[in-house]
Structure 1
Amino acid sequence: MIKTLSTRKRLQLAGASAIALSAACLAPTAAMAQDTAPSSATVETIIVTTTRREENIQDVANSVTASSGEALAPFTEGGADILSLGARIPSVYAESSNGRVAPRFYIRGLGNTDFDLAASQPVSVIMDNVVMENVILKSFPLFDVAQVEIARGPQGTLFGRNTTAGTIKFDSVRPSQETDGYVSVTAGSYGTMNLEAAMGGAILEDVLSARLSLLSQHRDDWIDNGFTGENNALGGHDEMAGRAQLFFTPNDSFDALLNVHARSLTGTSAVFRANILSPGSNSLNGNFVRDEVYYDSTFNNPQAYDNWGTSATLNFYTGSGLTLTSITAFESADGYSLGDIDGGNLVTGPGFIPFPSETQDGIDTLEQFTQEFRLASDDSQATTWQVGAYYFESEFDITTVGPNGGFPPSTTVRHDNTLWSAFGQVSHQLNDNLELSGGIRFTHDAKDLIGVVTSIPVTPVSVSDDQISWDLSAYYDLDDRQAVFARLARGFRGPSIQARDVAFFSQPSVADSETSTSFELGYKSEPLDGRARFNATAFYYQVDDLQLSAVGGAGNLVQLINADRGVGYGFEIDSEIFVTDNLFVTAGFSWNETELQDNDLEVGVCAQCTVLDPDADIDGFHEVDGNPFPQAPDYILSFTARYSIPAGNGGEWFAYTDWYYQGRTNLFLYESEEFYSDGNFEGGLRVGYAGELSGGQDYEIALFARNITDEENLVGGIDFNNNTGFVNEPRIVGASFRASLN
């Protein structure tokens, strides 16, 4: 799995991914390694904060994967963004139909395909202890990251907001009294440039420290517009981001961490391609050309977003071991994306759109304010507890408009959301082997929609709900290196409002709250005298009133709906092993089965594809009862390996590779012969030298390739009238240099 390691060289061994392999595969490999090449290396103790306390990942009664920031380097150095986490961690998938903004995450098959900028998601993204609720905020770029933690299953007690599927938590490298930093420079194909730098250290000894982190990414436009004859018209991007932190530690009873961060992005939104699927097939046809589109517009799908935020985390420590924590945060964002959503004016194919279909959606002055208070007991006691309260408020305008004043007419709607909750959690060490835990959270969630400037009258919409989330768990140590756990949890996602259709002369739609109840059994171990880690979890969950987004039909509308229920079950495996001191392998596997359960649920379907679901009423709407969830891979298999050769003077030559393989993934609520993917895979390779400069700084020089086999994978579609789809990133080949600044 992706993991944190104790030294820089071992961080490189972990490489860049969460990986997968079955238990049956791991055991023979481990046995062979023990017989032929004993290793003195051991896997590192990984500390996570899934329970809002610092704990060994092996001691947490939950399915959790953790990754160091340096382990993400092979992805980000090639220009990749936060979507690179998808399909490289068991049971975790990610996709977007909006370029480098508005990522959509799925855990154990549960997610949300809604592309509206106000969409809520059942996977909560948390950055530096702040919930990033809006999809634009979730896309903040990854740089100078200390650790990423993925907690699967409902996390509705301690994190609460919209966590029926789980949480993805990012923690930046914090300032310290020791001077440290790094610089990383990458150059690759398509003019890809990536620069990262960070520097931190003491300002006042033992009192004040600071850290400044910077990111610059660039890629040239590389896709031609064959319709207008413009070469290199789209496909590129420029992104700048920065983060400044101050850590104030005046005495043993108080500390404060202040964080200010910002990002500016300009570039190309999603590249939609018309008629790249033939009726009866999900294989890309001859209309697909990687570096060419046929957009009947000179705009070429631009997007631009700016956002910034700030937070203050204050800790007060009492003499009795209590800790009072306050986290105050503010986030703001503005921007837009324009898309030729019919995929261009390419006439060859099953469908043709006889008019321009280009739409721009943008967020105006998004403002999010959050406040959390938490009181926690001393960690050293047999019984530990924490209680707290949380407040969330956001407001923003979404404007939908056609380019040059065309259709659709300019429409602006305002979304307001206010939420507050109170929570508590307690754990008790019953004996040397058994720990029991339980928690509860009450949440009030209210949302309002009003039309600010609209072409038709919009009736204001207000929705709210009060819900209780909870969890119960038991963790049992079998011995010093093995443990089992059981967990039962309930999560809650508040009601949602979808207003994009207002621009197309339809009223908003509403989805009621969804609740998820999950049960999981897990096994955690560090066999072979600590040279390996093997964690496995089996799970079953049921979601009542599952929120879904139905897109398409004769009116090409976007409507929120609820299914009576959805169920999911399966298992996931995280594993890693030092085969020898020089060969480190990580592997993992997840199998997820999902099913919609609603005898009365029917949705509109694509006009030019082969729909497999019945239309009992012969009204053009097809039944989806029994179908898998959309964008839910039935399995994910991934793997990494790193081999090093010592070169003297503390240096080494190394080779690192990572691969993932994704099983069948249905793209929409209905099933068809066209809109699914099966067998998508990608691989990467890095070869280079790591050594030490005369001043003691570590450095690394490497050649790399992302998507080394240049796979052309269908990753999404638009069920318009012409089988429009979009694909993965092309192969990127380049070189990188990284050095510490200690």
Structure 2
Amino acid sequence: MVDLRGLEYVAPNLTVQSINGTASTNFYLRGLGFNDFTQNNMGPVVTYVDDVAYPYSTMASGLMFDMADVTVTPGPVGTEHGQSTTGGEVKLRTNDPTDSFHFGASQDMASYARSRSEAYVSGPIARGFSFRVAAQVNQGGGWQTDPLNGAHLGDADSWALRAKLKWTPDSRTTVLLSGHVVRDESEVVGGVPIARLIGSTPIPAVGWTQTEWSAKNAFTNLIGRNAGLKPSEDNWFWGADLHVAHDFGPVTLTSVSAFETEREGEYTDQDATAAAQADAYRTIAANSFTQELRLSNTNAQDRLQWVLGAYYQRSRMNQSFYFDYTDYLPARGYMQDSSFGLNQEATSEFGHVSYRLPGNVTLFTGLLHEIDDRAITGLTSRIYGGRTLDFHGESTAAAQFAGQVGVSWQATKSVLLYYKMSKGFKPGGFTANNTQVQAQLAPFKPESVLTYELGLKSDPIPNVLRINAAAFYNDFHNQQILGTILIPDYGPLSQLTNVPKSESWGFEGTIDLHPLRHVFVTQNFGWQRGTFQDFPTVNRAKTNAYYAQHGVWKAINDNFSGVDNGQPKLTLNGQLDWRQAVNPRYAVEFGPNWVYRGAQAMTPGGTGFYRLPPYFLLGAHVTLRPASDRWQVTLYASNILNRQYYTSGGQATTTYLYIPGAPRFIGGRVSCNL
């Protein structure tokens, strides 16, 4: 895995979607997530890096290198650490400093001149002190071209640096100071127009690896960028965190302090044509400070295990959106910008207790109380050469409880059964994209979910077969989702809103199989269904169809009661490895890997092109390594069948577009660790 989207290949029921092909991502876990283009709201799935919660998922961009492990936890969490969520969390842990000296590097070269380089050095520097420095550089890999002029699009151009300093003044105390910086000037993936929703001009006929874009000089002058700008990022991310842990004997005190900063400039062509009908440039200046304190028992063998803690988070954000609609005639025909500020602050207290009874039965319960306040300020929408609209600020506050209760039973040495009920909570927020009327800034409500889960963790045949599985049911109230609002004489706009009542259910699991001496198989599977039980909103598809027929914007309201929630019903991913020694000094490993993702509706009740097609991808690798494992050489291929597939979709103005996935890549990687 080299980016967040790679997590789809290792976890069931997880979908990670890039927003318009950019570094901004949305997570869906067990079907729970929402499409937030502005990225100014907390998602239902929170990303952690080294125990630091990132309130905006984009902040985690570029940090997946020198990794130690990745954990994906579905369902409501927050009673043991960090931030309360309704959908779950993705925890990334990077390598820490080592007590002995080590260094290493890797170089990956692949199709389309893609290059990924990594290096690290780690070891002691003085008594009680050790360090680790790791870096990554990504270049090339762009596989799209513009059929109008042959221009190239999609090359990566980023670098990242992480440094850690560890101090152990005594056997009971650990202090770890970390810092990182990411610079990303990569080009993004352009869209493929699927249908003309407004107007009669035919959509461009482009191949799978082609896309059109435009950046008029008047627009680049407005946003302060050079002429000939391609869809691309201009991002800086940096931050620092301090971890302190001290063992007082019966209890351990842990403190995690972090400050994260995001500076983003992002140009996308959201009509996927050479016309300037929905060209967008976004700037974000955001920062977040978090402080967590945890007190827990030290001895992991005690029957009673407990943790108490408190969490504080403060974030500030300023965004500006610039739009070029000059070719969107006769409806608009102008350039426009919107800007706003966001202030947010949250505090929570949490606790979790478990007790192991005789008979290997463990009871556990947890409780969290959270207060969240956020306000949107100073929103201005300006048409160049026309009117300027100033909107008054809006605020929203929430104070709710979340928690869980459950029981686990170690039935045998190799079989664990568990059952738990969890209540999750996520605060409300604002839609702040292309605001035209004050009503668009009305905050959406907090989201809550009551989850029931029954699970199994087992090794029925030790060293041969391992099965982990879970079944779940989610009962949602005010589930947050991207809906639609119609602005008279303007058109439909996306609006984050609440579904009063909805539900989802399903199952997921992982099978690890070692049937033969040299054969190792891992298969993740996930199946989920969900329906809206009460969801009155504007039907975007019918509204667009009415305009196409009558040339008048009229809101076609609907209630999607009983309609499927649209998330992929079936997700599969896995791999098969054949591992064998060539001789006493060398070993080889080879085999295929695969991923399947079912169809996904991109709008509530979406059918036809509003439903993203399913796809299946096949890859393979062969690796040679010595017995010392100090180096390895790998040849690999992804999307071997060169399947045409799409990772997300959407509409800004005149066209509905898909974001295509990468074609076949063939590459090689050399790495060493000394």
TM-score (norm 1): 0.82
Distance 1:404 1:161 in 2: 40
Counterpart in the other structure of 2:632: 700
- 1:651-690 equivalent positions in 2, closer than 5 A: 651-690=586-625
Counterpart in the other structure of 1:291: 209
Counterpart in the other structure of 2:524: 588
Corresponding residue SS for 1:735:
strand
1:422 aligns with 2:349: yes
Displacement of 1:676 after TM fit? 1.4
The one of 447, 470, 474 equivalent to 1:541 is: 474
Counterpart in the other structure of 1:733: 666
- 1:391-402 equivalent positions in 2, closer than 5 A: 391-402=312-323
**What is the letter of the counterpart of residue 338 of structure 1?**
Y
The one of 325, 342, 367 equivalent to 2:287 is: 367
Name the Cα RMSD after superposition: 2.5
Q: Indicate the larger mover: 718-727 or 599-608.
A: 599-608
Displacement of 1:416 after TM fit? 0.8
**What is the letter of the counterpart of residue 438 of structure 1?**
T
Counterpart in the other structure of 1:563: 499
Counterpart in the other structure of 1:317: 247
Q: Among the aligned pairs, what percent are the same residue?
A: 23
Distance 1:338 1:278 in 2: 23
Q: Indicate the larger mover: 445-454 or 242-251.
A: 445-454
Cα pair 1:309 1:331 within 8 Å, conserved: yes
Cα pair 2:394 2:442 within 8 Å, conserved: no
Distance 2:513 2:546 in 1: 46
Deviations 1:363-387 (A, max 9, x none): 02x1100001111013232112111
Counterpart in the other structure of 2:540: 604
Cα pair 1:100 1:139 within 8 Å, conserved: no
Counterpart in the other structure of 2:584: 649
**What is the letter of the counterpart of residue 704 of structure 1?**
Y
Counterpart in the other structure of 1:165: 87
Distance 1:604 1:677 in 2: 16
1:339 aligns with 2:260: no
Counterpart in the other structure of 1:235: 154
Distance 2:485 2:8 in 1: 26
**What is the letter of the counterpart of residue 291 of structure 1?**
T
Counterpart in the other structure of 2:28: 106
Corresponding residue SS for 1:290:
coil
Change (3 A) 1:100 1:359: closer
Change (3 A) 1:476 1:539: same
Distance 1:216 1:144 in 2: 12
1:502 aligns with 2:424: no
Counterpart in the other structure of 1:215: 136
Displacement of 1:419 after TM fit? 0.2
Change (3 A) 1:87 1:254: closer
Distance 2:594 2:209 in 1: 24
Cα pair 2:395 2:443 within 8 Å, conserved: no
- 1:152-191 equivalent positions in 2, closer than 5 A: 152-159=74-81, 161-191=83-113
Deviations 1:260-280 (A, max 9, x none): 01111112234122236999x
Corresponding residue SS for 2:5:
helix
Cα pair 2:111 2:141 within 8 Å, conserved: no
Counterpart in the other structure of 1:97: 19
Corresponding residue SS for 1:275:
strand
Cα pair 2:621 2:636 within 8 Å, conserved: yes
Counterpart in the other structure of 2:219: none
Change (3 A) 1:499 1:619: closer
Change (3 A) 1:162 1:430: closer
Cα pair 2:47 2:57 within 8 Å, conserved: no
Counterpart in the other structure of 1:246: 165
Cα pair 1:605 1:621 within 8 Å, conserved: no
Deviations 1:408-462 (A, max 9, x none): 4233200111000111111111114100111101100000111165431111111
Displacement of 1:510 after TM fit? 1.6
Counterpart in the other structure of 1:300: 230
Deviations 1:190-243 (A, max 9, x none): 1100111122111124x111111111111154432234x2422x2112110111
Distance 1:697 1:529 in 2: 25
**What is the letter of the counterpart of residue 214 of structure 1?**
A
The one of 169, 180, 183 equivalent to 1:264 is: 183
Displacement of 1:670 after TM fit? 2.6
Counterpart in the other structure of 1:446: 373
Corresponding residue SS for 2:194:
coil
Displacement of 1:627 after TM fit? 2.3
Deviations 1:140-193 (A, max 9, x none): 331111111111111132246351011110111111202234211011111100
Cα pair 2:272 2:657 within 8 Å, conserved: yes
Distance 2:629 2:472 in 1: 46
Corresponding residue SS for 1:370:
strand
- 1:419-498 equivalent positions in 2, closer than 5 A: 419-451=346-378, 454-455=381-382, 456-498=389-431
Displacement of 1:356 after TM fit? 2.8
Distance 1:487 1:436 in 2: 10
The one of 566, 575, 590 equivalent to 1:640 is: 575
Distance 2:104 2:129 in 1: 21
Distance 2:206 2:31 in 1: 29
Distance 2:349 2:173 in 1: 24
Higher strand share: 2
Distance 1:714 1:220 in 2: 18
Change (3 A) 1:716 1:258: same
Q: Indicate the larger mover: 388-397 or 334-343.
A: 334-343
Change (3 A) 1:501 1:147: same
Deviations 1:21-61 (A, max 9, x none): xxxxxxxxxxxxxxxxxxxxxxxxxxxxxxxxxxxxxxxxx
Displacement of 1:654 after TM fit? 2.0
Deviations 1:462-503 (A, max 9, x none): 100100011011010111111110010001000111111327
Change (3 A) 1:531 1:180: farther
**What is the letter of the counterpart of residue 204 of structure 1?**
A
Distance 1:295 1:286 in 2: 11
Cα pair 1:324 1:375 within 8 Å, conserved: yes
- 1:65-84 equivalent positions in 2, closer than 5 A: 72=1, 76=2, 81-84=3-6
- 1:101-140 equivalent positions in 2, closer than 5 A: 101-140=23-62
Q: Indicate the larger mover: 182-191 or 498-507.
A: 498-507
Corresponding residue SS for 2:589:
strand
Bigger RCO of structures 1 and 2 (CA < 8 A, at least 6 apart): 1
Change (3 A) 1:703 1:171: same
Displacement of 1:515 after TM fit? 0.5
Distance 1:189 1:552 in 2: 43
Distance 1:609 1:676 in 2: 16
Deviations 1:78-125 (A, max 9, x none): xxx211212542111110124341111111100011211213210011
Cα pair 1:163 1:492 within 8 Å, conserved: yes
Counterpart in the other structure of 2:147: 226
1:714 aligns with 2:635: no
Displacement of 1:548 after TM fit? 1.2
1:387 aligns with 2:308: yes
The one of 331, 336, 356 equivalent to 2:277 is: 356
Cα pair 2:538 2:555 within 8 Å, conserved: no
What is the count of residue pairs matched by the alignment?
Answer: 636
> Please, which runs of 5 or more residues in structure 2 have no aligned partner?
216-227, 327-332, 383-388, 548-553
Cα pair 1:238 1:266 within 8 Å, conserved: yes
**What is the letter of the counterpart of residue 507 of structure 2?**
F
Counterpart in the other structure of 1:349: none
Cα pair 1:258 1:313 within 8 Å, conserved: yes
Cα pair 1:181 1:199 within 8 Å, conserved: yes
Deviations 1:666-700 (A, max 9, x none): 122132222213431111111131125xxx56211
**What is the letter of the counterpart of residue 496 of structure 2?**
L
The one of 561, 565, 583 equivalent to 1:629 is: 565
Distance 1:86 1:179 in 2: 34
